[in-house]
A = this chain, B = another copy of it.
Amino acid sequence: MRTLAGTALLTVLAILGISATCADYSAPSDTGEPGVKVVLVMHGGAGVPAKMSPALVKKHEAVLAQALRTGYAALQKPGGTSVDAVEAAIRVLEDSPLFNAGKGAVFNHDGRNELDAAIMEGKEHRAGAVANVHILKNPISAARAVMEHSKHVLLVGRGAELFATTQGCTVVDPSYFWTKERWRELQRALEEEKKGHAEVFLDRRHFGTVGALALDREGNLAAGTSTGGLTNKRFGRVGDSPLIGAGTYADNATCAVSGTGHGEVFIRYTVAADVAARIRYGKQSLREAAQAVLDGLPKEPGGVGGLIALDRRGHLAMPYNTDGMFRGYVTSDGKVYTATYGSK
């Protein structure tokens, strides 16, 4: 039997990447004992450059911590569900200009912000998603409306906007999403493209997707992901974030997953569903499964990124293969942890 303090220590050590502890970290917890477990985990994108200024890193982590506290508060409310927590937490990052989701989203080739989001709950595998939307302030809330108030899972473009509007989702003028930094990124991408550097869209800076996973008192998992996709994307491109089993997945029997990375590769390798499948059929631990999926992605054309995974016992994994990944979690006793670089 593990003490509360011991469990908390293991969790802290695990996030610091102490390897001997990591192995234990994914083992089944002692049953029947109330323990400190992770109840909410988030990422703010795996594309953090190695040389971001410490002040800017701190700024991102502060918003991430605020999102974690907001999600935790949603969980603490009477009847608060994992879906409530995921939505509330992601809305904070969507509303911040620092992250590539909602306000602060990157621009597509046509100079528009084109947003995608998905949400899924693990008990009944209900899911909702929107893609290619331009006027919805909080795409994650539109995704939730699709899940809860439509018979469909994925709605795209103007149809999705129309549906979300009928559901009371907040509509904004597309100019709301404009930010100077993202606009400059597009101009740089367009210049690179003119010079014939077509690979510019793979620039790691652009993996700024955000995601959240939560575990509520009923033992139900939920996952959500929201993104502006890739700078300079075109032709109505949809990435992995709004696709169930690619960038977003939740299943109480295995885990919840949210991805951030080169979306096309995440789609082709059904990354989120593969983490769950390795646990379900391959009897791998959460941590083994998450790491194996990431390690198994092809190096070309850029199987780079990261993911977060959370299971029903409150265990988590947060592997990434980029320089940094904004990430953090809250434990059941309300302690908030954030990190950007360091042990994976």
How distant is A220 from chain B, measured CB to nearest CB, in Å? 15
> Which of A29-37, A230-238, A306-314, A331-339 is the contact stretch?
A230-238
Q: Is the interface of A mostly helix, strand, loop or mixed?
A: mixed
Identify which of residues 154-180 in chain A touch chain B, using a CB-to-CB cut-off of 8 Å: 154-160, 162-163
Instruction: Kindly state the separation between the CA atoms of A174 and B235 in the bound complex, as whole angstroms.
Output: 20
B residues less than 8 Å from A270 (CB atoms): 244-245, 249, 270, 273
How near does chain B come to A7, taking the closest CB pair, in angstroms? Answer: 29
Given known pairs A273-B273, A281-B278, the reply for A132 and B151 (CB within 8 Å) is no
**How far, in whole Å, are A126 and B201 apart by their CA atoms in the complex?**
18
| Alpha-carbon distance between A86 and B163 when the two chains are bound, in angstroms | 35
Known contacts: A125-B269, A244-B270, A267-B244. The answer to whether A237 contacts B155 by CB under 8 A is yes
Contact-residue bracket for chain A:
35 or more
Chain A 269-281 near chain B by CB (<8 Å), digits 1 or 0: 1100110011011
Q: Which of B152, B233, B263, B273 contacts A235 (CB 8 A)?
A: B152
Is B273 in contact with A245, judged by CB distance below 8 angstroms?
yes
By beta carbon, the residue of chain B nearest A301 is B151
Whether, in the assembled complex, A243 has its beta carbon less than 8 Å from a beta carbon of chain B, the answer is yes
Which residues in B have their C-beta under 8 angstroms from that of A235?
150, 152, 155, 159-160, 162-163
The count of identical subunits is 2
B residues within 8 A CB of A236? 155-160, 163
Question: Smallest CB–CB gap between A200 and chain B, Å?
Answer: 11
A155 cross-chain contacts in B, Cβ below 8 A = 235-238
Beta-carbon contacts of A235-259 to B below 8 Å, as 1s and 0s? Answer: 1111100011110010000000000
Report how far A153 CA is from B239 CA in the complex, Å.
Answer: 8
Q: Among the listed B120, B153, B246, B277, which residue makes an inter-chain contact with A274, where contact means beta carbons less than 8 Å apart?
A: B277
Q: For A268, what are the chain B residues with a Cβ–Cβ distance below 8 Å?
A: 120, 125-127, 153, 244
Q: Which of B124, B156, B162, B301 contacts A238 (CB 8 A)?
A: B156
**A282 close to B (CB within 8 Å):** yes
B-contact 0/1 string along A209-246, CB 8 Å cutoff: 00000000000000000000000011111110001111
What's the nearest-Cβ distance from chain B to residue A171, in Å? 15
- Decide if A95 is an interface residue (CB 8 Å cutoff): no
Residues of B within 8 A of A239 (CB): 154
Which A residues lie at the B interface, using CB under 8 A?
A: 120, 124-127, 131-132, 150-160, 162-163, 198, 201, 233-239, 243-246, 249, 263-264, 267-270, 273-274, 277-278, 280-282, 298, 301
Q: Pick the 6 closest A-B CB pairs, nearest first.
A: A159-B236, A277-B277, A281-B282, A281-B281, A245-B270, A159-B235
